[in-house]
Structure 1
């Protein structure tokens, strides 16, 4: 009887410890996932605007500013990554800066700007995702 009680207590302590370890491991990657999730949200919002044919310049520019801000967070979020990875991150920052400098005023311009920014995202994801 004593052995069964000790076994149950041992299993409970093991399960709790495993839960803490799993949460710690998941939290370690929360920042990187968060940066990518923010960019994905704004890229999706721009895509929805373009698809709906409603591309107000101020709204598009706001999304590109937010993508640019998230792109600036890539280097600290992925500290210790391959140096080539950061070349792709800098290309994304350059593409968004160029888009902000020449903000798209209509849907065709928005689609063209999204294609340029999307290409930089795609080039990195093909190698590192």
Structure 2
């Protein structure tokens, strides 16, 4: 009987420790997930605004995208120095966001599609 109680207690303590370790490890990626979520929402707001007749009323979504694109390289876990390919994806995203900010209303939808494609290109390799 003591063996069964000890085994059950050991399994419970092991399960609690495993959950705590998992939560600690998953917190490492919280910033990058949060940044990607906010970028997705800003892109959605910009797309919704581009679909209206007054495409300039985007709720500052393109300004948010520009700021977040500048911060994307710091969001990756590790020592903070991205590899060459990730840096290229980051630069492509920044270029597309700046092109979308300066685009006219007629070209805004295509420019935002190019921003989405730049995001998808990176996600294809790194997500």
Unaligned runs of 5+ in 1: none
Higher RCO structure, 1 or 2 (CA under 8 Å, sep 6+): 1
Shift of 1:7: 1.1
Q: Does 1:124 align with 2:125?
A: no
Q: Which position in structure 1 is the counterpart of 2:71? A: 73
Q: Does 1:57 align with 2:56?
A: yes
| Equivalent runs, 1:11-30 vs 2, <5 Å | 11-30=11-30
TM-score, length basis structure 2: 0.83
CA contact (8 A) 1:55 1:110 kept: no
Higher helix share: 1
Task: Classify the secondary structure of the residue corresponding to 2:58.
Answer: helix
Q: Distance in 2 between matches of 1:59 and 1:46?
A: 5
TM-score, length basis structure 1: 0.82
Q: Which position in structure 2 is the counterpart of 1:113? A: 111
Shift of 1:54: 4.4
| Equivalent runs, 1:72-111 vs 2, <5 Å | 72-78=70-76, 79-100=80-101, 102-104=102-104, 106=105, 108-111=106-109
Superposed CA RMSD:
2.0
Equivalences, count: 124
Shift of 1:35: 1.1
